[in-house]
Structures are given as structure tokens and as C-alpha cells.
Amino acid sequence: MAQHGLAGKTALVTGGGRGIGAAIARMLGALGATTVICGRTQSHIDTTVKQLKSSGGQSEAIVCDVSDWNSVSALAAQVQKRFGKLDILVNNAGIGGFGGPLHQLPIDKWDAILNTNLRGVFYTVRAFVPLLVAAGGGHIVNISSIAGKNALPNGAAYSASKWGLNGLSYSVAEELRAHKIRVSVVCPGSTHTELSPHEGKSSEKMLQPDDIAHVVEMLVTQNAQSFASEIIIRPTQKP
């Protein structure tokens, strides 16, 4: 364990089985937080938990589909029963949607993207903010995308979900400041994960999941009198 700046804290990472979510979970564990990993696939989240525990971290895996309110509500009940509070909520779960113009997008694909990337964050905020309030404050970090700042042809549904997530984040930040809960949104550029193929781009020049985890580390270890409401992170070189 390299550092213990979050010792005694409880964190939850959605979509923590792979990619950016797994990197964030490993970072939180290295800082000493007890980290709950949730996702839809048991084997994926078990792998992340195993990685944390092998490094001396405390972690638990709980299956959850953030697009399903009943699933999120049950997760919150388990966290409350087990830990009594939550200090850090990282909303990372998301799905991509690339490959064609919006007028050709199947209706069920639109629903899946918006229900996971945007509605799912509403559900976790709705379910877990009471636990953050009970803890006397904390952090909500929403992993968005640079697609929530710029046009994304052939990815309009994904872009819309991230623009919506950004607006949600700014507004909730104002609602929760009085409770000492800091809400931040992180907008990465091209990142080398399984979310999308990034055809024609150099994976070596792209952002890596640990780059995003480093930004989240900064957010959750800031001094109490300040918070960064939005961070945009880009590759140094265009992939």
C-alpha cells in the first residue's frame, strides 16, 4: 500500500470490473479506502477485487445494473448495512454507442445508452447521497467524456448522454455544497479501453485508464476548502 490518505473511508465505483473503473478502484484501494466494486458481470468485478486484495486493500464485489432502480436501491441497502455510510461515489459505469447516424439508431440502443450513462447516475445519486450526508460530506465523481463537450458524428446518443451528465453534475454540485459533498465531472479524451475500438488510432498515444485514475486521486484528496468542478483530460499527442 503506497499511501493511506483515504484510510477509514468507504468508496463505491460503478463499472469497476474493467478499464477506467478498475484503475480508479485500484487507486482508491492503494490510498487506503475500503472499495466496493459494482458491475453487471460477476467475474469482471471479482477480478478487480482480487487485484486490490493482492495489494493489501479491502474490497468487496457486488453485482449491480445501474440502469435498474431496484438493483441500485438494493446495492445502497447493502452498503448501508455493511458500512453505515459512504464517503466516495465514482459513477463510471457506461456504454458506448458509435457506428451510425442518429436517424438509423435502433430505439433499444438509444434506451440502453441513456439509461446507463445518464439515468444510472440519477439512480446512484438518489440512492447514495443520504449515505454521503450521513458521513458528514464526501465526493461524487462522474466520469463523462470529451464527447460531452464536442460534437460526435455517428455517436449522437452517446454524446447526448454525456452532455446530459455534465449538466446534471454541475447542478447537483450546487445542490450538495451545503452538505460538504463535492461533485466533480471528469471528461477524458480518447482512452484505450474496451468501450470502443478507436479504429485508426494509436493505443500508445491514447490516454490510459491509470491517467484517469490519477485525476480522480487529485479530486478525492483535495483540501477541504476547494473542489474542481470539471476536469478535461486529453492525450499529449493526437492518436
Yes or no: say if 63 and 16 are a contact pair by the CB < 8 Å rule.
Answer: no
Among 93, 122, 125, 95, which Cα is nearest to 108's? Answer: 95
Yes or no: say if 139 and 220 are a contact pair by the CB < 8 Å rule.
Answer: yes
Beta carbons within 8 Å of 26's beta carbon, 6+ residues apart = 48, 51, 52, 55, 57, 213
Enter the C-alpha cell of residue 5. Answer: 490518505
Burial-class residue 197 by CB neighbours within 10 Å (0-12, 13-18, 19+): exposed
DSSP run (H or E) holding 187: strand 181-188
Yes or no: say if 12 and 88 are a contact pair by the CB < 8 Å rule.
Answer: yes
Helix 42-54 × helix 19-30 angle, to 10° = 30
State yes or no: is 170 an active-site residue: no
Q: How far apart are CA 40 and CA 188, in angstroms?
A: 23
State the catalytic residue, choosing from 98, 122, 158, 163: 158
Q: How far apart are CA 24 and CA 213, in angstroms?
A: 5
DSSP run (H or E) holding 209: helix 209-220
Half-sphere exposure of 219 (CA within 13 A, CB side): 29
Catalytic residues: 158
